[in-house]
Structure 1
Amino acid sequence: MTFNPLQERGIPLDRQLRNWRELNVEPIDPDRADPYTRCRIITMNGIEIEAIMFSHHFARRCQDLEVRQRLAEVRYIEAQQQKAVNWLLPGTSSVLETTLAYEQVAVDLTAWVARMEPDPYLKQAYQFGVLEDFDHLYRYANLYEMIEHRKAEKIVDQLTEVMPGRPTKMHHRHPVDNVREHYDRETAQAISKLHALTVMSAEQQTMNFYMNVGPMYMEPIARQLYQEIGLIEEEHVTHYESLLDPGESWWEQWLNHEYNECYLYHSFMQTESNPRIKAIWELHLNMELEHLRIAADMFRRHDGRDPEQAVARELPKPVTFEPNKEYLRELISTQIDYTTLGTGYVQEAHERFQRWQDQIMGGEEPPSERVIDENRARSGDEYRLETEGTHPLYSLRTH
């Protein structure tokens, strides 16, 4: 059944305000919830944060008082949505448990996007990035075992494997080599624009989370690991945001943001296993349909085009959280040694990469390597979660 969000009518904006009782959502049960329900919550929190920050940046550059007032009205509702979504996460979960869930999102969301992306250059960008997030999950899982004496399968279940990807120490690149070519807004498929905005928003949320929670730990290795991976998340945001066409007007960007929110809430409403959470996705979809109508009206008035010239008439196939084990295994076997050079990819370290590595390492092993050594010393071995057989590469030590 097709769904054109531009033709649907949602809840009028003046009826979207919620009181404290309505915003006081019940969090999920961390011991019983589907891990992918938690992944959908984390994803939508990142999407809402991006919507809020985009609106603030737009308002700071807009001289039209009426437009700034309308942005503020929509943005306040987006802020309420973000609070309702993010407050679904249980307060009983530790920072490290939430971190593991963030990395599960990064792995399975980016892998799904890579599988579905029609543009070969954009597909390569997602394939490259997911092998790094995969390794981050492995490093944090070892930190979790070492500090909290628990196994990461408590969080990821058997849905996502935990093992080395591209070694985290190899993720430190010269900043110019993190900037990709952007898609062409005139020729790119609509789904490609949504993919880029979605993955960029998710990575941005992770970057912000790590830069704030990292110094809250007392253990030196934890503080250092969050610092290292937090810097890599900055690289990832640069990597993904550079895929967006900077030639899109503010009005087109606003339209894309609201359309993407409709797309994701509609997707998760269709795939959610928890009826109570599904009802929240449905409510927020009906709110976002009105936000999209407002953005579409502004696009017509200020950009001078019909919205259907910029976005698809029908929502694409729903974004789906599902295991990507075989896909990731194939990427590990063929692309683990990739790095970037300019806007392309190479399979050997080059001079600029090596100089950067030498400078940032300072002759010492980084925290991402030491956390494995320290966990092996304390626990007797490093932590891995392998399912459904093994691959010869998995027996290799990456440090």
Structure 2
Amino acid sequence: MTFNPLEQRGIPLDRQLRNWREMNVQPIDPDRGDPYTRCRIITMNGIEVEAILFSHQLARNTVDPDVKRQLARTRYIEAQQQKVVNWLLPGVSSVLETTIAYEQVAVDLTAWVARMEPDPYLRQAYQFGVLEDFDHLYRYANLYEMIEHRKAESIVDNLTEVMPGRPTKFHHRDPYDNVREPYDKNEANPLSKLHALTIMSAEQQTMNFYMNTGPTYMEPIARQLYQEIGLIEEEHVTHYESLVDPGETWWEQLVNHEYNECYLYYSFMEQESDPKVQAIWELHLNMELEHLHTACDMMRRYDGREPQEVLAPELPKVVTFAPNKQYLRGLLDTQMDLTTLGAGYVREAHERFEKMQEQIHGGQEPPSERVMAEHDDMFGREYRVQSEGEHPDPALREK
């Protein structure tokens, strides 16, 4: 059954305001709930945060007070949605446990997008990035066992493998080489636009999360690891945001944002296993349908164009959280040694890469390597004992 948001009407905007009782949602159970429910929550929080930040930027770049007021009305509802979604996360979870869930999102969401992406160049961008998030998950898993004496598998529920990816110390590149070529807004598949916006938003939220939570730890190795990976998330946001065509007008971007929210809320509503959370996805979808129509009206008025010119005629195949173990192992076998050069990818270290490595590491092992060494000292073993057929630890390979 097809679903075209442009043909659906939702809850009128003047009926969307919620009171405190309605916003007081019950958080999920971290021990008994579906880990992918938590992943969907983290994803939608990032999507809502991006919607709010984009709306603020648009408001700061227009002189029309009517535009500012309409954006403010919708944005306030988006802010309520963001609070409801993010407050579904359980307060009993530690920052580090939430961090591991964030990396599970980065791994399985990006892997799914890479599998579905129709454009080969964009697909390569997601394949490249996911191997780095995969390794971040592994480094945090080492830290988690050191600090809280638990295994990360208890959080990801073995849906996502916890093993080394492209070594984190090699993720530090000259900023010049983090900028990719954008899609062409006039030629790109509408699905490609949604993919780019989704992954950019998710990575941006991860970057923001690490920027704010990193210094809350007392353990020096934890503070340092968050600092290192937080810098890499800055690289990832640069990597993904550069995929979006900068020639898109503000109004094209606005309708793409609202359409993408409809797409994701619909996707997650279709697969959600928690009835209470599913009801929130359905409610927010019906709110976003009206936000989309409001954005479309603004595009017609201020851009003189029909939104059908830039939006998909119906929602694509739903975004799905599912294990990607074999897909990721295939990437580990074929793309482990890639780095970036300009807007492309190479297998050999080059002058800018080597200079950046020398400058950022200063001849010392970075926190991502030291956390593994400290883990080994504490437990007398590696975090994960390799079994037959598993990919070897890339940190032990010569580069």
Q: State the TM-score, normalized to the length of structure 1.
A: 0.98
Deviations along 1:131-177, one digit per CA (max 9) or x if unpaired, are 00000000000000000000001110010000100000000000010
Aligned match of 2:36? 36
| Aligned-partner SS, 1:251 | helix
Q: Which amino acid aligns with 1:312?
A: A
Tell me if 1:10 matches 2:47.
no
Match of 1:393 in 2: 391
Judging changes above 3 Å, is the alpha-carbon distance between structure 1 residues 44 and 343 closer, same or farther for their aligned structure 2 residues?
Answer: same
Deviation track 1:88-138 (CA, whole Å, cap 9, x = no partner) reads 000000000000000000000000000000000000000000000000000
Aligned-partner SS, 2:340 = strand
Opposite residue 149 of structure 2, the aligned amino acid is H
Whether the 8 Å contact between 2:48 and 2:78 is mirrored in structure 1 is yes
CA distance in 2, matches of 1:184, 1:384: 43
- Equivalent-residue separation in structure 1 for 2:130 and 2:385 (angstroms): 17
Structure-2 separation of matches of 1:173 and 1:75: 36
Task: Check conservation: 2:135, 2:165, Cα contact below 8 A.
Answer: yes
Which residue in the other structure is 1:169 paired with? 169
Taking the TM superposition and a 5 Å limit, the aligned residue runs for 1:73-152 are 73-152=73-152
Q: CA deviation at 1:340?
A: 0.1
Sort the Cα spacing of 1:385 and 1:132 in 2 relative to 1 into closer, same or farther, 3 A.
Answer: farther
1:373–1:268 Cα change, 3 Å: same
The letter for the 2-side match of 1:320 is T
SS in 2 for 1:345: strand
Aligned equivalents of 1:352, 1:186: Cα separation in 2:
34
Paired residue secondary structure (2:26): coil
The correspondence of residues 181-220 of structure 1 with structure 2, limited to 5 A, is 181-220=181-220
Aligned mates of 1:396, 1:308 — CA distance in 2: 47
1:392 Cα deviation from its structure 2 partner: 5.0
Query: What do you get for the CA RMSD once the two structures are aligned?
Result: 1.1
**Matched position secondary structure for 1:340:** strand
Kept in 2, the 8 Å contact 1:200–1:241? The answer is yes
**AA aligned opposite 2:231:** L
Mapped to 1, the partners of 2:199 and 2:173 lie a distance apart of 20
In structure 1, give the amino acid aligned to 2:58: F
Distance in 2 (CA, whole Å) between partners of 1:391 and 1:301 is 59
**Residue 381 of structure 1: how far off its partner (Å):** 1.5
Query: Between the two proteins, what is the percent identity of the paired residues?
Result: 76
CA distance in structure 1 between the partners assigned to 2:291 and 2:281 by the alignment: 15
Q: How big is the shift at 1:395?
A: 5.2
Residues 197/396 of structure 1: CA separation in 2 closer, same or farther (3 Å cut): closer
Deviations 1:366-386 (A, max 9, x none): 000000010011012222388
Secondary structure, counterpart of 1:393 in structure 2: coil
Q: 1:41 to 1:164 in 2, by over 3 A?
A: same
AA at the equivalent of 1:191: L
Corresponding residue SS for 1:10: coil
Alpha-carbon shift at residue 390 of structure 1 (Å): 4.9
Q: State the AA in 1 paired with 2:203.
A: E
Q: 1:253 to 1:395 in 2, by over 3 A?
A: closer
What is the 5 A alignment of 1:1-399?
1-384=1-384, 390-394=388-392, 397-398=395-396
C-alpha distance in structure 2 between counterparts of 1:88 and 1:67, whole Å: 32
CA distance in 2: counterparts of 1:85 and 1:109, whole angstroms: 18
Residues 209/385 of structure 1: CA separation in 2 closer, same or farther (3 Å cut): farther
CA distance in 2, matches of 1:263, 1:229: 30
Counterparts of 1:382 and 1:289 in 2: how far apart (Å)? Answer: 49
Amino acid at match of 1:269: M
SS in 1 for 2:391: helix
Give the drift of 1:301: 1.2
Once the two structures are TM-superposed, the CA of residue 397 in structure 1 deviates from its matched residue by: 4.7
Q: Is the 8 A contact 1:163 1:394 kept in 2?
A: no
> Could you tell me how far apart the structure 2 residues matched to 1:124 and 1:288 are?
31
After TM superposition, give the deviation of residue 396 of structure 1 in Å. 5.3
Segment of structure 1 superposing worse, 112-121 or 299-308: 299-308
Shift in CA distance, 364/301, structure 1 to aligned 2, threshold 3 Å: same
Give CA deviations for 1:24-64 in whole Å, capped at 9, x if unaligned. Answer: 00000010010000000000000000000000000000111
Give me the whole-angstrom Cα distance separating, in 1, the residues matched to 2:392 and 2:353. Answer: 26
**Structure 2: runs of 5+ lacking an equivalent:** none
- Rounded Cα–Cα distance in structure 1 between residues aligned with 2:344 and 2:39: 31
Partner SS state of residue 7, structure 2: coil
Distance in 2 (alpha carbons) for counterparts of 1:138 and 1:204: 20
Residues 74 and 291, structure 2, Cα contact 8 Å, conserved in 1: yes
- 1:394 is paired with a residue of what secondary structure? coil
8 Å CA contact 1:329, 1:391 repeated in 2 = no
Aligned partner of residue 145 in structure 2, secondary structure: helix
Residue segments in structure 1 that go unaligned for 5+ positions in a row: none
Distance between the aligned counterparts of 2:272 and 2:204, measured in 1?
24
How many angstroms apart in 2 are the aligned matches of 1:165 and 1:341? 20
For 1:332 and 1:358, the matched residues in 2 are separated by 25
**After the TM superposition, which segments of 4 or more aligned residues of structure 1 sit over 2 Å from their partners?**
389-399
TM-score by length of 2: 0.98
Q: Provide the rounded CA distance (Å) in 2 between the counterparts of 1:385 and 1:187.
A: 47
